[in-house]
Structure 1
Amino acid sequence: MIRHIILILCLVIAVFTYSPAMANSITSISGRVTDKQTGAPIQGANVGISSLKLGATTNNNGEYTLTNVPKAKLLIDVSRMGYKTLTQLVDLTTTSTADFQLEISVIEADEVVVTGSPILGKNSKNSTTIETVTKKDLTQSGATNIIDALKSVPGVSQITTGGAISKPVIRGMGYNRIVTLSNDVKQEGQQWGDEHGIEIDQYSASKVEVLRGPASLFYGSDALGGVINIIDPTVPANGNFSGQFASNYSTNNGLTANNLQFQGNTNGIVYRLNGTYKNAMSFKTPTERVYNSAFNEDDLSGMVGFNKSWGFAHLTYSRFNTKIGLTEGERDNAGNFVDVDGNPVSESDLKSRSMFLPFQHITHQKLTLNSNVNLGKGFLKTTASFQNNQRRELEDSSTDPATYFYLNTYSIDSKYYFEEINGWAPVFGISGTIQNNSNKGEEALIPAYDMYTGGAFAYVKKAWNEFTLDAGIRYDARKLNAKQEYQFNSFNNSFSNISGSVGMTWQLADKLGLKANVGRGFRAPNIAELSADGVHEGTFRYEKGNVNLKQETSLQFDAALNWEGKYVSSSLNGYYNFINDYIYYQNINNEQIDVNGQLYPVYSYVQGNSALRGLEFSLDIHPVDHLHFENSIAYTRGTNNETNTNLPFIPQAKLINTVRYDFEGRKDASISKIFVSAGFETSFKQAKVDPFETTSNGYSVLNSTIGATLRSASGKELLSLYVAGRNLTNTNYIDHLSRFKEIGIAGTARTITFGISVPFSHQH
């Protein structure tokens, strides 16, 4: 099916590419970017058209040119570090030039966001709460994976299994309640599992947008709690070529990570290639090195496509491949780690980069065709994708997996954007997914199944000078057919529901803005919740599903108040989320089961009407341009309203305080962009826990980063260097959402990461 869809779309693209009728609609846009106060040209500013995935960088004179763009009204965003991001609607039917003036600002606020609404626009005009994490923040965080790099975003936490596996949690919700998008495609990789990470290369992203709150209107089931949108880089302007080599080394587990990427544009034929390799031995806590927590990873992705006057079409292939050791925490009487045969492990085993039993081997492949075509007076944006996820879990043999999940997912998503009429911008969309999962191992935790999902939505947005209103409605249906095999009986379940939202933004004053949103979402139970029956390697428990579970429905009220001043900026977000038939698992009455002579606690899936509420507050004080004192706090509380008990796996309240100073230097200096930062991450005691959970103590860790950029005599960036330290005080702690908490393994000890990035480019 997906091959036929891709073939048809490629034929359509070829027709558009060589159609003489389209030639009359082609144009270009050029201009200058200057400092508003001084009038001086700004070199290195990014001028982009996000809807076309096209961008350019200004030269020494502040000049830019974008070719092969349609004659239409397009939203252009201009950004440069140290300046306020500028977003402007330009009508290319009447002009081919546009000059921009940027204002100096220590806050690069109000950037264009693509998440939370099908319509591109300023973040301040989006009624949902969205945080943007830049590529620089992702790279210099010292994180071991892309989700780990997002943990400083207020309201975002992670369920961890050592340093290699992180699952996102937004406002207390994770697993199948969070949609992870990559290249506009919903990532499908058995995300129901505790120790199933996100199979996406952290170096492939140009930025990440995090939507906190229900997003079922745009993404259907599974977006009940929020969205993490991993966004690819825009392609350069015609005749340009760019790329970078990045490398880092971490002292704690000897992690080496190397990445090479480059991209170009030749007469509208665009391309990109990205490759990453990581390798690490077992990590250290403040008291020990954790046996069998090593991992390695190799990733490769490539894109080829067209950027023409009719729009764009990009065909992308990616392959993510990793092996991850699974620590079971078995020890001898002296408290030392032992291997699967009960033998004490040696120092060389602890420092080995090889995988010992048990371990995971996961391969995720994805083929995606993204297109955006001018059609009538509007345009049609379509994403067709095929994903193959192979998850092997090896327990007794390094070649024959005990469990082997083989998942294929075919999906298509299409949206039509109508011409804006009197400020009203309507969008209609449809989507469909076919998914089939088979078991190829000796045993199975879930049955093989086929799943069919379809949905359609309508959305409209209206903007006035100081006020924006948006609303939408969506219908989804899902059918799941489980097969009879292993210990499972067959069953068929169907789910359907209506989602919707109404939101507004209001600029109350020059510096004060208000956002509010009411959203209704839903989530169908996943296959594990319905049918799990067995011990999942690395989870330390026996899981038992319930085929009679109902779908979850939610009603969330969300509001945010934002202040953007010259010396102080702040944001206060509050939310209250009613969730009917909320699904979670419990160890009821300390039930246990004997499996091959070993006792495991039995965790059964239950549900009840529940509520999640909380707040996020951030405060950035910058008394002088180059000094930042950044502070944020996030708090979430979850309760089962029927039993008046606390929900499990609610993250600890977290306070982050960071001081950062950017040293001012001459623009022609050989060493520039020097910065230093230091901050505390404080997680408070979590005592409001489900009856089967244990409480978690509070803790604080000290982090710090220093970096600089080296330039040539002509001002060209040669390389960037940074050193990032995490847990510099070597605090001995266990996070409430660490899965190693159950076996008494602490968090990562002091880690120093050394990194280098070498950019290269050629401009026509």
Structure 2
Amino acid sequence: MNIKTLLSLLLLFFIPVYLFAAAEVTGKVTDAKTGESIAGATITIQQLRITTITDAKGQFIIKSLPAKGKYLVEIHSLGYKPMVKTVDFNVPGALTFALEISNVETHEVVITGTPIAANSKFNSTSAASVSREDLLAPSSNLIDGLAKQVPGVSQITTGPGISKPIIRGLGYNRVVTLMDGVKQQGQQWGDEHGIEIDQNQADRVEVLRGAASLLYGSDAIGGVINVLEPLAPTSGTVKGEVLSSYSTNNGLSNSSVMLTGNENGFVWRGRGSYQNAYSFNTPGGYYINSGYNNTSFSGMLGLNKGWGYSHLNFSYFKNNIGFYDSDPGDPLYEGKGTDRTLDFPRQDIRQYKIALNNNFLIGNGSLKLDLGYQKNQRRELDEPTPALFFDLNTYSLDAKYYLPESNGWQPIFGVSASDAHSQNKGTEFLIPAYDQTSAGAFGYVKKTWGQNTFNAGLRFDYVNNNGKQLFIDGEQKFTGFKNNFSNVSGATGYTHVFNDIFSFKANAGTAFRAPNPAELGSNGVHEGTSRYEVGNPDLHPERSFQADAALEFGKNIVTGSIGIYENYIHNYIYASGAKGDQITLTNDAGEEQTYDVYRYGQVNANLYGVEGNLNIHPTSFLHLDNTFSYTHAQNESFDRPLPLIPAGVIHNTLRFEPKVKGLKDFYVSAGLDNFFKQTRIDPTFETATDSYTLVNASIGTTLRLGSQPLKLYVTASNLTNKKYYDALSRLRPGRLSQEDPTYGVFNPGRNVTFGVYLPFNIK
């Protein structure tokens, strides 16, 4: 039985649960000290994918909810300490939440990307949640925004249009990006491919740092980025948002429109976005043909009823981006780079996705079932007809059954499976067409007693790869490969909340990652990286042994956290080159071009580091926020550093929020991004980067258009137009064939962004 047939049978099997009765929850939010009502407070039930706000009397009502079960309810209101409370729907009566006034940012937020959704304070996983408000801070893409705000997160960039996430020094197929409950399957193995997600879709993003293989399987050995779209509003509501921004450095215009509604449990959402940028400007000039544009559409139709919820999500994302294929001695910059027409070579990336997300109440437990289909198409064009055309189709299933809690014990069991098929439809080839099937099963238990939480789990995974043999004009291009990998992963964690000030969390575990088809079978020019890649069909799976611990603290004017981690990886896979290892090819025009050859191999690697934040709030209108992170990564097999490791960084932001008559939420901020030298490089094909400091600033406020709030902001980055190379920029100096040490492209110079955000209510 194939996965597609299994998905259909599962849907038919669970239709009877639609007969469950629905309930509604009413309540009130008040000030804990005065007892006065709090209008505009947000009440959210992440597990049921629904939210609402209080009216002028501080009252709220949420309809079409299950009539039984325990759920975590979040209550937020500006100027008050957030609250996370477990509510038992079996107990009748209105709810009352009394919030305490506070200007201190706390860790009270529900994290859904872990096996069991939990208050982050009682969750052992090192997790950070980035809100919609913070995501509005200007960035060229989603990963760029996260790298600026979450300690331990960085990015490999190819200009401002492409960012690949790095968590604690690990990236590519070691980091899972999750959206609509489905793992993003696209070009995560390639250097010069970003995440095929509209950055405007995210209402909140969770970043899980450290191995999350227990829940997400082989590719989550480094961490998870869980992108959450807006929750369904309360019944009888229709609302939306319009946002738009313009950035001066590369003329990036970003516009998005969204509408969402709920009518008696029938929920829906639709969004359209468009971005367009010309070549980015550096202190040396505009980098040639580095502009890009992307178009995206997404939507959701679903039901929120007494039996749970069922949401059908669909999305389309198209990205066009220019590349400049240069050799040492070629000009890198042009005097006028504001033409938005993309020249050749360029890429055309398209991602189509359908996901069916369900949460069914069955007996006293619940079943969370996510089904997905994705089509990812990558076209590389030297002319209108694509030379390389890679088409990947992936079907996926993820099911988790949550048993009812008993005496503090919360057990769950889960299975997952995926079936991927790729084709090469062009005339150039990098990796062979392949079929990949994976399956996994896990068990997990969480025990809570007093101020302590303990969790443990085991998982088994199986991955089968079948790379297709290929002959071109009688010459063998791909030899083909067949292999399968399996292994057991385990993890355990512990959390202790000492008091309102201190809490401690620690984790230990082992995880594995199977080699991907690009690592196993590459044999061709990777145009976006201007190198010739050679895979290795004899690669072994990576095996990780990791541990981390963190202390979180916060009271009155000071909050923060500090964490350490260690990750030893046996059979770590990466592509490396050696000076003199080159190949010369003749293109269709009869021109010869020489490429550096990068070959995939394995070493033993050890990564450890520290990360944290320190936030000082001396008054309600003055905030000093600081984050820091450092990763030390060693190639143990050859006694030298691992390549592509981020430099240590400290971010400082001073934010001033005075009360200004006629304005709401007015603020002025200034910040420093301090990046240390990165001299720990792989000397065979990397060059060191110097330290540098970037100066940033922003100002913003909220106006009223009748009853609708209008948020306006202006932000500036790299105000001094600093000339620098980032350690993870793919455009910095460092090619094997490089003879001129000044060869390389500077990172973007000064950039000022003007933005507007208008949330509105129609009904």
Return the TM-score normalized by structure 2.
0.95
Tell me what 1:698 maps to.
691
Q: In the TM superposition, what is the alpha-carbon distance from 1:111 to its structure 2 partner?
A: 3.3
Letter in 2 for 1:550: H
In 2, the alpha carbon distance for the partners of 1:406 and 1:453 equals 19
Tell me what 2:509 maps to.
519
Deviations 1:600-654 (A, max 9, x none): 2111111111100000021111111221111121100111112211111111111
Q: In the TM superposition, what is the alpha-carbon distance from 1:670 to its structure 2 partner?
A: 3.9
Match of 1:406 among 371, 374, 391: 391
Whether the aligned pair in 2 keeps the contact of 1:453 and 1:478 (CA below 8 Å) is yes
Q: In the TM superposition, what is the alpha-carbon distance from 1:105 to its structure 2 partner?
A: 2.1
Tell me what 1:673 maps to.
665
Give the SS at the match of 1:748.
Answer: coil
Q: In the TM superposition, what is the alpha-carbon distance from 1:35 to its structure 2 partner?
A: 1.4
**Does 1:482 pair with 2:467?**
yes
In 1, the alpha carbon distance for the partners of 2:285 and 2:745 equals 9
Q: In the TM superposition, what is the alpha-carbon distance from 1:434 to its structure 2 partner?
A: 0.2
Structure 1's 114 and 5: CA in aligned 2 closer, same or farther, altered over 3 A? farther
In 1, the alpha carbon distance for the partners of 2:259 and 2:4 equals 27
Tell me what 2:61 maps to.
65
Give the SS at the match of 2:300.
Answer: strand
CA RMSD of aligned residues (A): 1.6
Q: In the TM superposition, what is the alpha-carbon distance from 1:7 to its structure 2 partner?
A: 4.9
**Does 1:222 pair with 2:209?**
no
Match of 2:315 among 315, 318, 321: 318
Deviations 1:450-499 (A, max 9, x none): 00000000001111121110111100000000001140012101111111
Q: In the TM superposition, what is the alpha-carbon distance from 1:410 to its structure 2 partner?
A: 0.2
Whether the aligned pair in 2 keeps the contact of 1:156 and 1:170 (CA below 8 Å) is yes
**Does 1:354 pair with 2:341?**
yes
Structure 1's 75 and 696: CA in aligned 2 closer, same or farther, altered over 3 A? same
Give the SS at the match of 1:289.
Answer: strand
Tell me what 2:110 maps to.
113
Unaligned runs of 5+ in 1: 338-344
Structure 1's 696 and 181: CA in aligned 2 closer, same or farther, altered over 3 A? same
Alignment of 1:393-472 (within 5 A): 393-395=380-382, 397-398=383-384, 400-472=385-457
Tell me what 1:377 maps to.
364
Give the SS at the match of 1:623.
Answer: strand
Letter in 2 for 1:598: Q
Give the SS at the match of 2:731.
Answer: helix
Give the SS at the match of 1:390.
Answer: strand
Tell me what 1:555 maps to.
545
In 2, the alpha carbon distance for the partners of 1:107 and 1:407 equals 47
Q: In the TM superposition, what is the alpha-carbon distance from 1:336 to its structure 2 partner?
A: 5.8
Tell me what 1:285 maps to.
282
In 2, the alpha carbon distance for the partners of 1:222 and 1:498 equals 14
Whether the aligned pair in 2 keeps the contact of 1:115 and 1:211 (CA below 8 Å) is no
Letter in 2 for 1:405: F
Task: Give identity over the alignment, percent.
Answer: 45
Deviations 1:680-725 (A, max 9, x none): 0011110011122111111111111111001256xx3431101011
Deviations 1:184-212 (A, max 9, x none): 11000121110111000111011111111
Q: More deviation in 68-77 or 8-17?
A: 8-17
Whether the aligned pair in 1 keeps the contact of 2:573 and 2:600 (CA below 8 Å) is yes
Tell me what 1:156 maps to.
153
Match of 1:507 among 497, 502, 505: 497
Whether the aligned pair in 2 keeps the contact of 1:112 and 1:120 (CA below 8 Å) is no
Letter in 2 for 1:641: E
**Does 1:730 pair with 2:713?**
no
**Does 1:592 pair with 2:582?**
yes
In 2, the alpha carbon distance for the partners of 1:672 and 1:270 equals 31
Alignment of 1:248-263 (within 5 A): 248-263=245-260
Letter in 1 for 2:628: I
Deviations 1:82-107 (A, max 9, x none): 22221111111121411101112223
Q: In the TM superposition, what is the alpha-carbon distance from 1:538 to its structure 2 partner?
A: 2.0
Match of 1:640 among 613, 635, 641: 635
Q: More deviation in 562-571 or 552-561?
A: 562-571
Unaligned runs of 5+ in 2: 472-476, 587-591, 734-742
Tell me what 1:541 maps to.
531
Give the SS at the match of 2:539.
Answer: coil
In 1, the alpha carbon distance for the partners of 2:178 and 2:328 equals 40
Q: In the TM superposition, what is the alpha-carbon distance from 1:12 to its structure 2 partner?
A: 5.5
Tell me what 2:751 maps to.
751
**Does 1:272 pair with 2:269?**
yes
Letter in 1 for 2:147: K
Whether the aligned pair in 2 keeps the contact of 1:28 and 1:96 (CA below 8 Å) is no
Q: In the TM superposition, what is the alpha-carbon distance from 1:599 to its structure 2 partner?
A: 1.9
Q: In the TM superposition, what is the alpha-carbon distance from 1:132 to its structure 2 partner?
A: 1.1
Match of 1:617 among 612, 616, 628: 612
Structure 1's 253 and 154: CA in aligned 2 closer, same or farther, altered over 3 A? same
**Does 1:179 pair with 2:167?**
no
In 2, the alpha carbon distance for the partners of 1:370 and 1:175 equals 26
Whether the aligned pair in 2 keeps the contact of 1:2 and 1:386 (CA below 8 Å) is no
Give the SS at the match of 2:232.
Answer: coil
Tell me what 2:589 maps to.
none
Give the SS at the match of 1:587.
Answer: strand
Tell me what 1:652 maps to.
647
Give the SS at the match of 2:145.
Answer: helix
In 1, the alpha carbon distance for the partners of 2:449 and 2:649 equals 37
Tell me what 1:342 maps to.
none
Tell me what 1:340 maps to.
none
Letter in 2 for 1:723: V
Tell me what 2:81 maps to.
84
In 1, the alpha carbon distance for the partners of 2:268 and 2:14 equals 16
Tell me what 1:309 maps to.
306
Give the SS at the match of 2:759.
Answer: strand
Give the SS at the match of 2:214.
Answer: helix
Q: In the TM superposition, what is the alpha-carbon distance from 1:115 to its structure 2 partner?
A: 4.4
Whether the aligned pair in 1 keeps the contact of 2:270 and 2:299 (CA below 8 Å) is yes
Tell me what 2:625 maps to.
630
Give the SS at the match of 1:686.
Answer: coil
Structure 1's 108 and 3: CA in aligned 2 closer, same or farther, altered over 3 A? farther
Whether the aligned pair in 1 keeps the contact of 2:47 and 2:112 (CA below 8 Å) is no
In 1, the alpha carbon distance for the partners of 2:610 and 2:262 equals 44
Q: In the TM superposition, what is the alpha-carbon distance from 1:441 to its structure 2 partner?
A: 0.8
In 2, the alpha carbon distance for the partners of 1:8 and 1:104 equals 51
Match of 2:374 among 387, 392, 406: 387
Q: Show structure 1 runs of 4+ deviating over 4 A.
A: 1-15, 330-333
**Does 1:104 pair with 2:104?**
no
Whether the aligned pair in 1 keeps the contact of 2:248 and 2:751 (CA below 8 Å) is yes
In 2, the alpha carbon distance for the partners of 1:56 and 1:222 equals 35
Structure 1's 254 and 712: CA in aligned 2 closer, same or farther, altered over 3 A? closer
Letter in 2 for 1:699: Y
Structure 1's 13 and 68: CA in aligned 2 closer, same or farther, altered over 3 A? farther
Whether the aligned pair in 2 keeps the contact of 1:709 and 1:717 (CA below 8 Å) is no
Whether the aligned pair in 2 keeps the contact of 1:82 and 1:108 (CA below 8 Å) is no
Tell me what 2:31 maps to.
35
In 1, the alpha carbon distance for the partners of 2:513 and 2:125 equals 19
Letter in 1 for 2:556: K
Tell me what 1:341 maps to.
none
In 2, the alpha carbon distance for the partners of 1:690 and 1:178 equals 22
**Does 1:198 pair with 2:195?**
yes
Deviations 1:241-275 (A, max 9, x none): 11100000111111111100011100110000011
